[in-house]
């Protein structure tokens, strides 16, 4: 079965680079004193979300639909977890994440379904 792979547009390249930087930047947050104070389970869940975001950006970099879907799940997961933990500061990053998702979804139809 032949698949047509579209070249990655510049905006997605920029999105992925920013995404990688944000993910690497947010990595130390899992062992920040504030996060540890929220509970024994919280750093693990936050770490999982960070890993999911990283994988999602790898997927988007390779123009894969699962990358966009994974980014959406990570976003929704983040919302649920932070809502449960009662962290209001998370909402500061929500508009940026919605913009990132919006940009990724614009090119969703041109992306590849396979792994």
Partner 1 sequence: MKLTAPVCSTFDVMIFLTLLRESISFAFHALRVNRLRTLLSLLGITIGIFAIIAVFTAVDSMEYKVRSSVQSLGENVIYIEKWPWAPEDGVEYEWWEYMNRPVAKVSEAEELAKRLTLSEAVVFTARLRKTVNYKTSFVENAQVQAAMYPYDRVKTFNISTGRYFTEQETEAGKAVCIIGDNIRNALFNLEDPLGKDIKVFGLKVTVVGVFDPEGESLLGNSMDSQILMPLEFIRNIADVRKEELSPNIMVKALPGVAVADLKDEVKGIMRSIRRLKPTEDENFTLNEVSILSSGLEQMFGIIGTAGWIIGAFSILVGGFGIANIMFVSVRERTGQIGIQKALGAKNWFILTQFLTESIVLCIIGGVLGLVLVWGGTAIASSALDFDFTLKASNIVLGLTISVLIGIISGFIPSYSASQLDPVEAIRSSS
Please identify which residue in 8, 9, 26, 55 interacts with partner 1, judged by CB under 8 A. Answer: 55
d(CA 101, CA 86): 24
Please identify which residue in 62, 69, 90, 105 interacts with partner 1, judged by CB under 8 A. Answer: 62
Closest-CA residue to 115 (of 73, 63, 76) = 63
Please identify which residue in 9, 43, 77, 93 interacts with partner 1, judged by CB under 8 A. Answer: 43
Tell me the H-state helices in the chain. 10-26, 33-37, 42-61, 65-85, 94-106
Which residues does 50 contact at the CB level (< 8 Å), separation at least 6?
Answer: 23, 26, 27, 30
d(CA 85, CA 36): 12
- Asked if 13 interacts with partner 1 (CB under 8 A), we say no
Please identify which residue in 28, 86, 95, 102 interacts with partner 1, judged by CB under 8 A. Answer: 28
Please identify which residue in 27, 79, 87, 103 interacts with partner 1, judged by CB under 8 A. Answer: 27
- Asked if 54 interacts with partner 1 (CB under 8 A), we say yes
Give the footprint of partner 1 on this chain (CB under 8 A): 23-24, 27-28, 30-33, 36, 40-41, 43-44, 47-48, 50-51, 54-55, 58, 62, 113-115
């Amino acid at each position: 079965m032949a698949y047509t792979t579209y070249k990655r547009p510049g905006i997605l390249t920029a999105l992925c680079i920013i995404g990688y930087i944000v993910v690497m930047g947010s990595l130390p947050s899992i062992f920040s004193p504030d996060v540890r104070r929220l509970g024994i389970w919280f750093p693990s869940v936050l770490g999982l979300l960070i890993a999911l975001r990283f994988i999602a950006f790898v997927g988007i970099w390779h123009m894969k639909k699962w990358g966009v879907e994974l980014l959406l799940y990570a976003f929704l997961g983040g919302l649920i977890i932070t809502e449960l933990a009662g962290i209001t500061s998370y909402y500061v990053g929500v508009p940026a994440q919605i913009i990132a998702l919006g940009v990724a979804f614009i090119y969703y139809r041109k992306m590849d379904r396979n792994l």
